[in-house]
Amino acid sequence: MFLYPFKTIWLKTSADRAVIADKIIQQTYLSDAGYRKTDNLTKFFYGLANENEFVLENIGNKRIPSFYEGDILGVGEETYVKVRMGAIKHIRIYILYLLLLATGLVFWLRGMLGMDLVDNQIMLVFSSILLLLLGYGYYFIRQFQRKLTSGIDFFRGLLSADNITADEVPAIFKR
């Protein structure tokens, strides 16, 4: 999708599921492991994590993307982690934003071409709102693209993992 502010990466690590989940929980302020902060370490995420999956929101590191979802797949010393990084928590919010923007552009074009009789003051306000939405979308996507590399590096370092392509992952783990 055009300018889609989400990215999926695959990581391969030799740690087992419990170790990976523990490393993620250590970085998570509130997790499904008791919903409390158990130590004085700096926490970067709010969310839940277990040995199968994690859903995290970035609250403490301004250099990495805002939202992470992941699946921990594999057994033993061959564990694969599928990480979906995003600028927006849910894809449906992004689609709603695109639909709002597309609808606004259609009505703006109809007004500019004279197909609809619209007062000039209303058209000026509508144009400024539309430009504001376009600017916000551009800013949002640029911020995500700048944070993407450091987000990948953060998870690679946290899990002591190698970044691999989807072709290198066994077919049984792809869903």
63 and 121 in a single domain? The answer is: no
Nearest to 172 by CA among 61, 90, 78: 78
Q: What is the DSSP letter of 138?
A: H
Same domain, 40 and 30: yes
User: Range of 114's domain?
Assistant: 91-137
* Same-domain status, 118 and 154: no
CATH code for the domain of 74: 3.30.310
Do 13 and 82 belong to one domain? yes
Per-chain mean pLDDT for the chain: 84
Total structural domains within the chain: 2
Q: Which amino acid would we find at residue 118? A: V
pTM for the model: 0.78
Segments of the chain with pLDDT less than 70: 1-3, 30-42, 117, 175
pLDDT in tens, 51-89: 999 999 988 788 899 899 999 998 877 899 999 998 888
Map residue 43 onto helix, strand or coil.
coil
Mark whether 83 and 13 lie in a shared domain: yes
Tell whether 39 and 98 lie within a shared domain.
Answer: no
Please report the DSSP string for 104-128 in residue order.
HHHHHHHHHTTSS---HHHHHHHHH
Are residue 35 and residue 102 in the same domain, yes or no? no
